[in-house]
């Protein structure tokens, strides 16, 4: 079996053979199908490659993408998505776990470095309040997931349109980013320091972050997560 990774690389090369008109048509379908994270990645890439091969061969006979796939690319892509097998949670789980641990490793490292640098200028409070930290971490993960979903949603809506207003979409995404980031900062200040706490200085923070990061790196190589 040819891996989805290889198929993506091959797809990138082959797409260069398309005429401008056919490429526009095909690109919209490609992004639309890839954005649908419920569909099996392997099967999605295989069908995308088949469509591309077909289009390239048809193009040589003077056919356009609309001649081959019809005048309703979104409807056609929806029909394909309806028949594509679903990705199971089990195959998605390693990727999501990886992502979460990776984010935490980055956060711990950045925190360690910030504490170290901040310490040169003024005494810093390194205590961690377990309940508050858990709440803020949970919020961050949910906010990031929501932000990614929102951006996917914006991109999805911009597809298959004659002209889409890019600056409006960028503004929406930027605004969502600012709001969710601001809310996170607000939480940090509004939730009082309460409950059990422990001191967590720059060194253990940076060291645990770096360790987790190395762990992520190793797991990614070992289990070829993506």
Partner 1 sequence: MSVRSQLLKGVLDGCVLSIIEKETIYGYELSKKLQDAGLNDVSEGTIYPVLLRLQKNGYIRGEMRPSESGPNRKYYSLTDDGRSALNELALEWAHIAGPVSELMQRRRTDD
- Report the residue number, 57 or 175, with the smaller CB distance to partner 1: 57
Tell me the three state secondary structure of residue 129: strand
Tell me the three state secondary structure of residue 198: strand
Binding partner 1 (rule: CB under 8 A), the pick from 25, 26, 69, 160 is 69
> Residue 185, CB half-sphere, CA atoms under 13 Å: how many?
6
Closest alpha carbon to 111 in 206, 21, 4, 23? 206
Helices and strands (H and E) in the chain: how many: 9, 2
Binding to partner 1 in span 104-163, by CB under 8 A: none
Please report whether residue 76 would count as binding partner 1 according to CB under 8 A.
Answer: yes
Stretch that binds partner 1, among 56-64, 89-97, 182-190, 200-208 (CB under 8 A): 56-64
> 66 Cβ partners below 8 Å, 6+ apart?
25
Binding partner 1 (rule: CB under 8 A), the pick from 54, 74, 172, 220 is 54
- Report the residue number, 47 or 104, with the smaller CB distance to partner 1: 47
- Report the residue number, 3 or 164, with the smaller CB distance to partner 1: 3
Binding partner 1 (rule: CB under 8 A), the pick from 5, 21, 70, 157 is 70
Binding to partner 1 in span 8-47, by CB under 8 A: 10, 43, 46-47
Q: The tokens of 204 are what? A: 């253990």
> CA–CA distance from 95 to each of 100, 224, 225 (Å)?
9, 10, 6
Count of residues near partner 1 by CB under 8 A:
25
d(CA 160, CA 147): 22
- Report the residue number, 63 or 74, with the smaller CB distance to partner 1: 63
User: By the 8 A CB rule, do 201 and 126 touch?
Assistant: yes
- Report the residue number, 2 or 178, with the smaller CB distance to partner 1: 2
Binding positions for partner 1, rule: CB under 8 A:
1-2, 10, 43, 46-47, 49-51, 53-54, 57-58, 63, 67-70, 76, 79-80, 82-85
């Amino acid at each position: 079996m040819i891996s989805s990774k290889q198929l993506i690389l091959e797809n990138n090369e082959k797409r260069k053979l398309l005429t401008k008109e056919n490429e526009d048509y095909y690109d919209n379908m490609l992004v639309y199908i890839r954005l649908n994270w419920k569909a099996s990645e392997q099967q999605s890439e295989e069908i995308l490659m088949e469509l591309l091969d077909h289009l390239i061969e048809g193009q040589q006979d003077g056919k356009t993408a609309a001649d081959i796939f019809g005048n309703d690319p979104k409807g056609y892509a929806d029909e394909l998505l309806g028949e594509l097998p679903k990705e199971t949670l089990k195959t998605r789980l390693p990727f999501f776990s990886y992502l979460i641990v990776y984010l935490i490793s980055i956060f711990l490292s950045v925190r360690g470095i910030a504490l170290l640098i901040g310490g040169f200028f003024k005494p810093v409070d390194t205590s961690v309040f377990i309940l508050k930290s858990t709440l803020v971490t949970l919020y961050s993960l949910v906010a990031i997931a929501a932000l990614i979903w929102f951006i996917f949603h914006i991109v999805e809506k911009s597809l298959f349109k004659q002209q889409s207003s890019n600056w409006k979409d960028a503004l929406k995404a930027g605004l969502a980013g600012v709001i969710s980031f601001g809310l996170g900062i607000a939480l940090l200040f509004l939730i009082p320091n309460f409950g059990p706490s422990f001191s967590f200085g720059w060194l253990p923070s940076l060291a645990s972050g770096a360790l987790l990061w190395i762990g992520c790196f190793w797991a990614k190589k070992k289990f070829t997560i993506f």
